[in-house]
Protein backbone atom coordinates (compact mmCIF):
# COMPACT_ATOMS: atom_id res chain seq x y z
CA UNK A 1 0.00 0.00 0.00
CA UNK A 2 1.43 3.41 -1.05
CA UNK A 3 2.15 5.95 1.66
CA UNK A 4 3.22 9.58 1.82
CA UNK A 5 4.65 11.89 4.45
CA UNK A 6 2.13 13.94 6.46
CA UNK A 7 1.51 15.62 9.80
CA UNK A 8 -1.22 13.53 11.37
CA UNK A 9 -3.42 14.65 14.25
CA UNK A 10 -5.06 12.02 16.43
CA UNK A 11 -7.43 12.11 19.36
CA UNK A 12 -5.74 11.48 22.72
CA UNK A 13 -6.96 10.90 26.27
CA UNK A 14 -6.32 14.57 26.92
CA UNK A 15 -6.71 16.66 23.79
CA UNK A 16 -4.89 15.69 20.62
CA UNK A 17 -1.48 14.66 19.38
CA UNK A 18 0.37 15.78 16.26
CA UNK A 19 3.19 13.83 14.63
CA UNK A 20 5.02 13.69 11.31
CA UNK A 21 4.40 10.19 9.98
CA UNK A 22 3.51 8.10 6.94
CA UNK A 23 -0.11 8.25 5.79
CA UNK A 24 -1.80 5.58 3.64
CA UNK A 25 -3.20 6.55 0.24
CA UNK A 26 -6.21 4.41 1.06
CA UNK A 27 -7.15 6.80 3.88
CA UNK A 28 -7.47 9.82 1.59
CA UNK A 29 -10.97 11.27 1.47
CA UNK A 30 -13.27 11.60 -1.52
CA UNK A 31 -12.41 14.16 -4.19
CA UNK A 32 -12.06 14.42 -7.94
CA UNK A 33 -8.59 16.00 -8.02
CA UNK A 34 -5.36 14.68 -6.53
CA UNK A 35 -2.67 17.30 -5.98
CA UNK A 36 1.04 16.89 -5.37
CA UNK A 37 1.48 19.42 -2.60
CA UNK A 38 4.67 21.47 -2.92
CA UNK A 39 4.14 24.27 -0.42
CA UNK A 40 1.87 25.06 2.50
CA UNK A 41 1.93 27.75 5.16
CA UNK A 42 1.33 28.42 8.84
CA UNK A 43 -1.77 30.35 9.87
CA UNK A 44 -3.21 31.07 13.31
CA UNK A 45 -5.80 28.33 12.78
CA UNK A 46 -3.01 25.87 11.94
CA UNK A 47 -1.39 26.75 15.26
CA UNK A 48 -4.63 25.95 17.05
CA UNK A 49 -4.89 22.60 15.27
CA UNK A 50 -1.26 21.60 15.83
CA UNK A 51 -1.34 22.42 19.53
CA UNK A 52 -4.92 21.32 20.25
CA UNK A 53 -5.54 24.68 21.97
CA UNK A 54 -8.99 24.91 20.36
CA UNK A 55 -11.31 22.29 18.83
CA UNK A 56 -10.41 23.18 15.25
CA UNK A 57 -10.06 19.55 14.15
CA UNK A 58 -13.45 17.84 13.90
CA UNK A 59 -12.58 14.40 12.54
CA UNK A 60 -9.78 11.96 13.29
CA UNK A 61 -7.32 11.06 12.03
CA UNK A 62 -6.69 14.46 10.42
CA UNK A 63 -3.89 15.85 8.29
CA UNK A 64 -3.26 19.41 9.43
CA UNK A 65 -2.88 22.42 7.15
CA UNK A 66 -5.58 24.70 5.70
CA UNK A 67 -3.63 25.93 2.64
CA UNK A 68 -1.87 24.24 -0.25
CA UNK A 69 -0.21 25.05 -3.53
CA UNK A 70 1.02 22.45 -5.94
CA UNK A 71 0.51 20.52 -9.16
CA UNK A 72 -2.45 18.40 -10.24
CA UNK A 73 -1.48 14.73 -10.53
CA UNK A 74 -4.86 13.20 -11.42
CA UNK A 75 -8.26 14.70 -12.18
CA UNK A 76 -11.74 13.61 -13.20
CA UNK A 77 -12.97 17.20 -12.89
CA UNK A 78 -13.58 18.95 -16.26
CA UNK A 79 -11.70 22.12 -15.28
CA UNK A 80 -8.44 20.45 -14.28
CA UNK A 81 -5.82 18.22 -15.85
CA UNK A 82 -2.47 16.77 -14.77
CA UNK A 83 0.19 19.45 -14.67
CA UNK A 84 -2.08 22.36 -13.74
CA UNK A 85 -0.72 24.65 -11.04
CA UNK A 86 -3.31 25.29 -8.33
CA UNK A 87 -3.91 26.87 -4.94
CA UNK A 88 -6.50 25.84 -2.37
CA UNK A 89 -7.52 27.70 0.79
CA UNK A 90 -10.05 26.69 3.41
CA UNK A 91 -13.09 24.59 2.51
CA UNK A 92 -12.59 22.70 5.79
CA UNK A 93 -9.11 21.40 4.96
CA UNK A 94 -7.31 20.56 8.18
CA UNK A 95 -10.66 20.65 10.03
CA UNK A 96 -13.18 18.29 8.43
CA UNK A 97 -11.24 17.35 5.29
CA UNK A 98 -7.68 15.98 5.22
CA UNK A 99 -5.37 18.95 4.86
CA UNK A 100 -2.20 20.33 3.34
CA UNK A 101 0.71 19.29 5.58
CA UNK A 102 1.30 16.29 3.35
CA UNK A 103 2.93 15.29 0.11
CA UNK A 104 -0.46 14.49 -1.39
CA UNK A 105 -4.01 15.85 -1.10
CA UNK A 106 -7.31 14.80 -2.66
CA UNK A 107 -9.87 17.59 -2.91
CA UNK A 108 -12.88 18.74 -4.88
CA UNK A 109 -12.00 20.47 -8.12
CA UNK A 110 -14.54 23.18 -7.35
CA UNK A 111 -12.33 24.26 -4.44
CA UNK A 112 -9.30 25.04 -6.58
CA UNK A 113 -8.07 28.31 -8.04
CA UNK A 114 -5.54 28.39 -10.86
CA UNK A 115 -2.28 30.03 -9.84
CA UNK A 116 -2.28 33.51 -11.42
CA UNK A 117 0.54 34.45 -13.77
CA UNK A 118 3.43 35.88 -11.82
CA UNK A 119 2.66 34.00 -8.59
CA UNK A 120 4.69 30.86 -7.91
CA UNK A 121 3.50 28.06 -5.64
CA UNK A 122 5.86 29.37 -2.96
CA UNK A 123 4.56 32.93 -3.39
CA UNK A 124 1.00 31.65 -3.11
CA UNK A 125 1.76 30.11 0.26
CA UNK A 126 3.74 33.15 1.39
CA UNK A 127 0.38 34.84 0.84
CA UNK A 128 -1.71 31.91 2.14
CA UNK A 129 -5.07 32.22 3.84
CA UNK A 130 -3.74 35.16 5.86
CA UNK A 131 -2.87 37.20 2.77
CA UNK A 132 -5.92 36.06 0.82
CA UNK A 133 -8.07 37.10 3.80
CA UNK A 134 -6.30 40.46 3.87
CA UNK A 135 -7.20 40.98 0.22
CA UNK A 136 -10.82 39.95 0.83
CA UNK A 137 -10.84 42.65 3.51
CA UNK A 138 -9.43 45.25 1.13
CA UNK A 139 -12.02 44.32 -1.50
CA UNK A 140 -14.77 44.71 1.11
CA UNK A 141 -13.58 48.21 2.02
CA UNK A 142 -13.37 49.17 -1.66
CA UNK A 143 -16.83 47.79 -2.37
CA UNK A 144 -18.15 49.89 0.52
CA UNK A 145 -16.67 52.97 -1.13
CA UNK A 146 -13.71 53.52 1.19
CA UNK A 147 -10.94 55.06 -0.94
CA UNK A 148 -7.55 56.64 -0.14
CA UNK A 149 -9.33 60.02 -0.20
CA UNK A 150 -11.72 58.85 2.54
CA UNK A 151 -9.03 59.07 5.19
CA UNK A 152 -6.64 56.82 7.12
CA UNK A 153 -7.12 53.07 7.45
CA UNK A 154 -6.14 51.26 10.65
CA UNK A 155 -4.77 47.71 10.54
CA UNK A 156 -4.68 45.75 13.80
CA UNK A 157 -2.33 42.88 14.53
CA UNK A 158 -0.25 44.58 11.90
CA UNK A 159 2.93 42.52 12.38
CA UNK A 160 1.04 39.24 11.91
CA UNK A 161 0.21 37.50 8.65
CA UNK A 162 -3.08 39.23 7.81
CA UNK A 163 -1.84 42.58 9.08
CA UNK A 164 1.46 42.47 7.18
CA UNK A 165 -0.19 41.76 3.84
CA UNK A 166 -3.02 44.24 4.47
CA UNK A 167 -0.48 46.95 5.31
CA UNK A 168 1.57 46.23 2.19
CA UNK A 169 -1.44 46.12 -0.16
CA UNK A 170 -3.24 49.16 1.26
CA UNK A 171 -0.10 51.29 1.19
CA UNK A 172 0.60 50.32 -2.43
CA UNK A 173 -2.97 51.33 -3.30
CA UNK A 174 -2.33 54.77 -1.85
CA UNK A 175 -4.01 54.53 1.56
CA UNK A 176 -2.59 56.22 4.66
CA UNK A 177 -2.11 53.12 6.82
CA UNK A 178 -2.06 53.27 10.62
CA UNK A 179 -0.51 50.03 11.86
CA UNK A 180 -1.48 48.89 15.35
CA UNK A 181 0.80 46.41 17.11
CA UNK A 182 1.75 45.26 20.57
CA UNK A 183 5.34 44.84 19.40
CA UNK A 184 6.85 48.29 19.05
CA UNK A 185 10.15 46.68 18.10
CA UNK A 186 8.43 45.93 14.78
CA UNK A 187 7.86 49.62 13.95
CA UNK A 188 10.67 49.74 11.39
CA UNK A 189 9.39 46.51 9.81
CA UNK A 190 5.88 47.94 9.48
CA UNK A 191 7.07 51.23 8.04
CA UNK A 192 9.09 49.21 5.55
CA UNK A 193 5.82 47.62 4.44
CA UNK A 194 4.36 51.06 3.89
CA UNK A 195 2.71 52.03 7.18
CA UNK A 196 2.54 55.80 7.57
CA UNK A 197 2.05 55.55 11.34
CA UNK A 198 2.63 52.85 13.94
CA UNK A 199 0.55 52.95 17.14
CA UNK A 200 0.63 50.79 20.25
CA UNK A 201 -2.29 48.39 20.54
CA UNK A 202 -2.83 49.50 24.15
CA UNK A 203 -4.82 52.44 22.83
CA UNK A 204 -7.37 49.98 21.46
CA UNK A 205 -7.61 47.78 24.55
CA UNK A 206 -8.94 50.47 26.91
CA UNK A 207 -12.55 50.37 28.15
CA UNK A 208 -14.84 51.00 25.21
CA UNK A 209 -16.85 54.21 24.84
CA UNK A 210 -20.05 54.08 22.75
CA UNK A 211 -18.48 56.77 20.55
CA UNK A 212 -14.91 58.04 20.69
CA UNK A 213 -13.08 60.67 18.66
CA UNK A 214 -13.19 59.90 14.93
CA UNK A 215 -9.74 58.74 13.81
CA UNK A 216 -10.03 56.68 10.63
CA UNK A 217 -12.26 55.98 7.64
CA UNK A 218 -12.04 52.24 8.09
CA UNK A 219 -9.94 49.34 9.16
CA UNK A 220 -8.90 45.72 8.85
CA UNK A 221 -9.14 43.82 12.12
CA UNK A 222 -7.75 40.37 12.88
CA UNK A 223 -7.95 40.73 16.67
CA UNK A 224 -11.62 41.05 17.65
CA UNK A 225 -13.00 41.68 21.14
CA UNK A 226 -12.23 45.05 22.77
CA UNK A 227 -9.86 46.03 19.96
CA UNK A 228 -12.59 45.74 17.35
CA UNK A 229 -15.10 47.53 19.58
CA UNK A 230 -12.72 50.47 20.01
CA UNK A 231 -11.99 50.55 16.28
CA UNK A 232 -15.70 50.87 15.57
CA UNK A 233 -16.15 53.64 18.12
CA UNK A 234 -13.32 55.61 16.46
CA UNK A 235 -14.43 55.12 12.84
CA UNK A 236 -15.50 58.20 10.92
CA UNK A 237 -19.03 58.80 9.69
CA UNK A 238 -19.94 56.41 6.89
CA UNK A 239 -16.79 54.34 7.33
CA UNK A 240 -16.36 50.58 7.43
CA UNK A 241 -14.35 47.97 9.30
CA UNK A 242 -13.59 44.53 7.87
CA UNK A 243 -13.43 41.94 10.68
CA UNK A 244 -11.56 38.75 9.86
CA UNK A 245 -10.02 37.40 13.09
CA UNK A 246 -10.46 36.70 16.77
CA UNK A 247 -6.99 36.48 18.27
CA UNK A 248 -8.17 38.35 21.38
CA UNK A 249 -11.56 36.63 21.64
CA UNK A 250 -14.96 36.17 20.02
CA UNK A 251 -16.78 38.72 22.18
CA UNK A 252 -17.63 42.23 20.97
CA UNK A 253 -18.19 44.64 23.88
CA UNK A 254 -19.61 47.38 21.68
CA UNK A 255 -22.92 49.23 21.31
CA UNK A 256 -25.16 50.16 18.42
CA UNK A 257 -23.94 53.78 18.59
CA UNK A 258 -21.33 53.60 15.79
CA UNK A 259 -23.86 51.97 13.48
CA UNK A 260 -26.92 54.16 14.02
CA UNK A 261 -25.25 57.50 14.86
CA UNK A 262 -22.31 57.43 12.44
CA UNK A 263 -23.54 54.97 9.84
CA UNK A 264 -20.49 52.77 10.35
CA UNK A 265 -20.55 49.37 8.67
CA UNK A 266 -19.05 46.20 10.18
CA UNK A 267 -18.19 43.77 7.38
CA UNK A 268 -17.58 40.13 8.23
CA UNK A 269 -14.86 38.40 6.20
CA UNK A 270 -15.06 34.62 5.78
CA UNK A 271 -12.22 32.96 3.93
CA UNK A 272 -13.23 29.33 4.44
CA UNK A 273 -16.46 29.07 2.41
CA UNK A 274 -15.98 32.21 0.30
CA UNK A 275 -17.58 31.78 -3.17
CA UNK A 276 -15.15 30.76 -5.89
CA UNK A 277 -15.60 33.88 -8.05
CA UNK A 278 -14.66 36.17 -5.17
CA UNK A 279 -11.64 33.93 -4.47
CA UNK A 280 -10.52 34.32 -8.08
CA UNK A 281 -10.96 38.08 -7.82
CA UNK A 282 -8.86 38.19 -4.65
CA UNK A 283 -6.04 36.10 -6.12
CA UNK A 284 -6.04 38.19 -9.30
CA UNK A 285 -5.72 41.37 -7.25
CA UNK A 286 -2.95 39.86 -5.13
CA UNK A 287 -1.00 39.20 -8.33
CA UNK A 288 -1.18 42.88 -9.25
CA UNK A 289 -1.42 44.77 -5.94
CA UNK A 290 1.03 42.97 -3.64
CA UNK A 291 4.65 44.01 -4.01
CA UNK A 292 6.62 40.77 -4.46
CA UNK A 293 9.72 42.31 -2.90
CA UNK A 294 7.73 43.17 0.23
CA UNK A 295 6.24 39.68 0.23
CA UNK A 296 9.76 38.24 0.23
CA UNK A 297 10.72 40.52 3.11
CA UNK A 298 7.88 39.26 5.33
CA UNK A 299 8.37 35.56 4.55
CA UNK A 300 10.32 32.92 6.47
CA UNK A 301 10.69 29.34 5.20
CA UNK A 302 10.60 26.16 7.27
CA UNK A 303 10.45 22.45 6.47
CA UNK A 304 7.49 20.18 7.11
CA UNK A 305 9.41 18.63 10.00
CA UNK A 306 9.52 22.05 11.73
CA UNK A 307 5.83 22.95 11.42
CA UNK A 308 4.69 21.33 14.67
CA UNK A 309 7.24 23.30 16.73
CA UNK A 310 6.02 26.56 15.18
CA UNK A 311 2.40 26.01 16.27
CA UNK A 312 2.90 27.42 19.81
CA UNK A 313 4.96 30.31 18.42
CA UNK A 314 2.21 31.68 16.20
CA UNK A 315 -0.32 31.44 19.03
CA UNK A 316 2.05 33.35 21.32
CA UNK A 317 2.42 36.16 18.78
CA UNK A 318 6.08 35.33 18.21
CA UNK A 319 5.78 34.96 14.43
CA UNK A 320 6.38 37.99 12.24
CA UNK A 321 4.77 38.11 8.80
CA UNK A 322 4.34 34.84 6.94
CA UNK A 323 5.76 31.33 7.32
CA UNK A 324 5.95 29.07 4.27
CA UNK A 325 6.22 25.32 4.75
CA UNK A 326 8.24 23.43 2.14
CA UNK A 327 6.58 20.05 1.62
CA UNK A 328 8.86 18.48 -1.00
**Domain parsing of the chain, residue ranges:** 3-115+298-326, 129-268
CATH architecture of 3-115+298-326: Alpha-Beta Complex (3.90)
CATH no., domain 129-268: 3.40.50.720
Backbone phi and psi for residue 43, each to the nearest 5 degrees, phi listed first: -110, 170
User: What is the structure's pLDDT at 200?
Assistant: 96
Query: What's the mean pLDDT in 258-270?
Result: 98
Average of pLDDT values for 25-30? 92
**Whether the predicted pLDDT of 22 surpasses 80:** yes
Confidence of residue 13 (pLDDT cuts 50, 70, 90): confident
Average pLDDT over all residues of the chain: 96
Give the model's confidence band at 320: pLDDT under 50 very low, under 70 low, under 90 confident, else very high. confident
Please, what's the b/e burial string for 242-272 (b: 16 or more CB within 10 A of its CB; e: otherwise)?
bbbbbbbeeebebbeebeeebebbbbebebe
Percent of residues, the chain, with pLDDT higher than 90: 93
How far is it, in rounded angstroms, from Cα 250 to Cα 4?
Answer: 37
CA gap 27, 204 in Å, rounded: 47
pLDDT digits (tens, 9 = 90+) for 104-156: 999 999 999 999 998 999 999 999 999 999 999 999 999 999 999 999 999 99
Q: What is the pTM of this model?
A: 0.92
Q: How high is the pLDDT of residue 157?
A: 95
| pLDDT value at residue 317 | 86
pLDDT for 1 beyond 60: no
pLDDT (tens digit per residue) in 183-223 = 889 999 999 999 999 999 999 999 999 999 999 999 999 99
Our CA angle for 74, 79, 84, nearest 5°, is: 55
SS (H, E, C) 42-104: CCHHHHHHHHCCCCCCCCCCEECCCEEEEEEEEECCCCCCCCCEEEEECCCECCCECCCCECE
Give the residue-averaged pLDDT of 271-281: 95
Percentage of residues in the chain having pLDDT higher than 70: 100
Alpha-carbon dihedral sign for residues 157, 301, 88, 117: positive
pLDDT in tens, 41-85: 999 999 999 999 988 999 999 999 999 999 999 999 999 999 999
pLDDT, residue 71, reads 98
Please state whether the peptide bond connecting residue 61 to the residue before it is cis, i.e. omega within 30 degrees of 0.
yes
Report the C-alpha gap between 309 and 249 in whole angstroms.
24
Q: What pLDDT shows up at residue 54?
A: 87
Amino acid sequence: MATFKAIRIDKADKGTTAALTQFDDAELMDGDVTVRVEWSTLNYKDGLALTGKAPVVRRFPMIAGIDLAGTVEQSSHPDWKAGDKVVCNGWGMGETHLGAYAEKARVKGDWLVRLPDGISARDAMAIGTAGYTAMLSVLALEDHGVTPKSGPIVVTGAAGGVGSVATAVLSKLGYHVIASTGRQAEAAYLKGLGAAEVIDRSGLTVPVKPLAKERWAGGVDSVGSTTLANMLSMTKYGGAVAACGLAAGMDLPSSVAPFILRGVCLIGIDSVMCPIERRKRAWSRLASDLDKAKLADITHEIGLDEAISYGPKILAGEVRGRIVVKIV
